Amino acid sequence: MDSQCAGRLDLIVEKYRGARGAAIPLLADVQREVGCVSREALEYVGRRLSIPPAELFGVATFYAMFRFKPQGKYLVRLCRGTACHVQGSAGLLQRVERELGISDGETTPDLLFTLQCVACLGCCSLAPVMMVNGDVHGRLTPDAAVKVLNGLREAN
């Protein structure tokens, strides 16, 4: 790990030193700083805080929020909740996967898109929906979803 990255992690380490039960926000901060919870970063903060890296790794693997590889610029969260399912989100997923050439949980080689299926975004009355970096797109058709993605691709 380069010293610059270590320095940034040190700030996080100091923030959580002595705090009880802080593993989740600690990991979230690491992820924000590094882009993912890499093994290297986990071992580093674990050592500095005297928490076995295995313990941190155990927490990180349990929750869907944590990822172990860097994420694309746009996080495409495709809702696979019940309401979206009955409104055809499986077809939407199929189309988006084909369009981006990746499956659920993967990132495009150009690091532009990461596709993630999520349980429910809570916008059921607009089903089927997908969220791109916090923006919800509702009542989607496969075509409309592709249009959204193409728009983002062109903007880059």
Q: Which residues bind another protein (CB under 8 A)?
A: 20-25, 27-28, 58-59, 62-66, 80-87, 91, 94-95, 98, 118-127, 129, 134, 136-138, 142
Q: How far is the CB of 136 from another protein (least distance, A)?
A: 4
Q: Cβ(10)–Cβ(20) under 8 Å?
A: no
Indicate the residue among 6 and 36 with the shorter CB distance to another protein. Answer: 36
Q: How far is the CB of 17 from another protein (least distance, A)?
A: 14
Phi, psi of 38 (to 5 degrees): -75, 155
Burial class of residue 75 in the structure, from the number of CB atoms within 10 Å of its CB (0-12 exposed, 13-18 middle, 19+ buried): middle
Indicate the residue among 13 and 121 with the shorter CB distance to another protein. Answer: 121
Indicate the residue among 9 and 130 with the shorter CB distance to another protein. Answer: 130
Angle at the Cα of 37 from the Cα atoms of 79 and 72, rounded to 5 degrees: 50
Neighbours of 25 (CB within 10 A): 13
Indicate the residue among 2 and 143 with the shorter CB distance to another protein. Answer: 143
Cα 101 from Cα 10, distance rounded (Å) = 38
Q: How far is the CB of 2 from another protein (least distance, A)?
A: 28
Q: How far is the CB of 108 from another protein (least distance, A)?
A: 18
Q: How far is the CB of 66 from another protein (least distance, A)?
A: 7
Indicate the residue among 112 and 120 with the shorter CB distance to another protein. Answer: 120
Cα 145 from Cα 156, distance rounded (Å) = 17
Q: Could you give the 3-state DSSP secondary structure of residue 16?
A: helix
Closest CA relative to residue 121, chosen from 101, 140, 148: 140
